[in-house]
A and B are shown apart, each in its own frame.
Chain A
Amino acid sequence: MILAGATALGGLCLSSQQVRAQQTATADALAIIVHRSNPVDELSSAQLKRIYMFDMQNWPHGRKITVMVREKGQPERTEAIRLICGIAEAEYERHVLLQTFRGSLGPGPRAIQSVSAMLRFVFNVPGAIGYIPVDQIDGSVKVLRIDGLLPTEPAYPLRRSQRVGRDD
Chain B
Amino acid sequence: MRSRPAISLALAFALVWLSPSRLAAQAHDEQHDAASDQPSGVMLRAFGAVEWAGSQQKETPNSFGLGQFALFATSNLHERVSVLAEVVMEASSSDTRVVTDLERLQITFRFSDFLNLSAGRYHTGIGYYNAAFHHGAYFEIPIGRPRVFAFEDEGGVLPVHDVGVTARGIVPGTGATLRYVAEVGNGRDFATIDDSEAEEAHGDPNGAKSTNLGLSFRPAGSGNLELGGSYYRDTVPRSGSPAVDLHIGAAYAVYRTPAVELMAEWLRLQYSGGGAPTLVNNAGYAQASRAWGKWRPYYRFDRLGMDTATPFIAPVGSYQSNIVGLRVDPMQWVGLKTQYEHTDEPSQRGIDAIRAQLVFVF
Is A52's CB within 8 Å of the partner chain B? no
When the two chains form their complex, are residues B258 and A88 in contact, meaning their CB atoms are under 8 A apart? yes
Is B84's CB within 8 Å of the partner chain A? yes
Nearest chain B CB to A74 CB, angstrom units: 12
Is B35's CB within 8 Å of the partner chain A? yes
Nearest chain B CB to A34 CB, angstrom units: 13
When the two chains form their complex, are residues A168 and B257 in contact, meaning their CB atoms are under 8 A apart? yes
Task: Return chain A residues, CB-CB under 8 Å to B14.
Answer: none
Binds A, one of B68-76, B157-165, B279-287, B307-315: B68-76
When the two chains form their complex, are residues B106 and A103 in contact, meaning their CB atoms are under 8 A apart? yes
Task: Return chain B residues, CB-CB under 8 Å to A103.
Answer: 74, 82, 84, 104, 106, 108, 118, 122
Task: Return chain A residues, CB-CB under 8 Å to B40.
Answer: 106-107, 110
Q: In this complex, which of B34, B80, B82, B257 has the most chain A Cβ atoms within 10 angstroms of its Cβ?
A: B34
CA distance A105 to B45 in the complex (A): 15
Question: Number of B residues contacting the other chain (C-beta, 8 Å)?
Answer: 41
Given the interface contacts A64-B80, A64-B110, A124-B37, does A167 sit within 8 Å of B257 by beta carbon? Answer: yes
When the two chains form their complex, are residues B176 and A106 in contact, meaning their CB atoms are under 8 A apart? no
Is A153's CB within 8 Å of the partner chain B? no
B26-62 residues with Cβ-Cβ distance < 8 A to A are 30-31, 34-37, 40-43, 45
Nearest chain B CB to A133 CB, angstrom units: 17
Question: Number of A residues contacting the other chain (C-beta, 8 Å)?
Answer: 41
When the two chains form their complex, are residues B41 and A62 in contact, meaning their CB atoms are under 8 A apart? no
Task: Return chain A residues, CB-CB under 8 Å to B118.
Answer: 103
Is B332's CB within 8 Å of the partner chain A? yes
Of the residues B36, B134, B176, contact of A124 by C-beta under 8 Å: B36
Given the interface contacts A98-B139, A102-B131, does A90 sit within 8 Å of B332 by beta carbon? Answer: yes
Task: Return chain A residues, CB-CB under 8 Å to B24.
Answer: none
When the two chains form their complex, are residues A107 and B257 in contact, meaning their CB atoms are under 8 A apart? no
When the two chains form their complex, are residues B75 and A106 in contact, meaning their CB atoms are under 8 A apart? yes
10 additional contacts (CB under 8 A) given A103-B108, A124-B35, A125-B35:
A87-B258, A94-B332, A97-B361, A100-B43, A113-B34, A124-B36, A124-B37, A128-B37, A167-B224, A167-B258
- Of the A-B pairs whose beta carbons lie under 8 Å apart in the complex, a sample of 24, sorted by A's number, is A57-B110, A58-B112, A62-B112, A64-B79, A71-B30, A88-B258, A97-B45, A98-B139, A102-B134, A103-B82, A103-B84, A103-B106, A107-B40, A107-B75, A110-B30, A113-B31, A121-B34, A124-B35, A124-B37, A125-B35, A125-B36, A127-B79, A128-B37, A168-B259
Measuring CB to CB, which residues of chain A are less than 8 angstroms from any residue of chain B?
50, 55-58, 62, 64, 66, 71, 87-88, 90-91, 93-94, 97-98, 100-103, 105-108, 110-113, 117-118, 120-121, 123-125, 127-128, 166-168
